[in-house]
């Protein structure tokens, strides 16, 4: 697994990069980054990079301001 990228490793765990998560919910990536920093959305760390579990996006639009 050493040669896999963090994004590929996260995908095997069912998580998305912040950019992918932003595209899925139709918001700018910056909004997802801010949500992670402010702990308004659940995330997992993969190789030191935050990734968003797909099921965390289900509630995100309702929680977004």
Domains of the chain plus CATH, in order, are 6-63 (1.10.1660)
Q: What is the mean pLDDT of each run of 10 residues along the chain (65 residues)?
A: 70 90 95 96 93 91 57
- In angstroms, the CA 59 to CA 20 distance is 16
Q: pTM for this one?
A: 0.79
Residue 51: strand pairing partners: 44
């Amino acid at each position: 697994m050493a040669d896999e990228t963090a994004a590929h490793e996260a995908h095997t765990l069912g998580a998305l990069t912040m950019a992918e998560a932003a595209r899925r919910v139709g918001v700018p990536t910056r909004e997802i980054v801010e949500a992670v920093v402010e702990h308004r959305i659940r995330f997992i760390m993969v190789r030191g990079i935050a990734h968003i579990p797909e099921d965390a996006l289900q509630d995100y639009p309702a929680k977004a301001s």
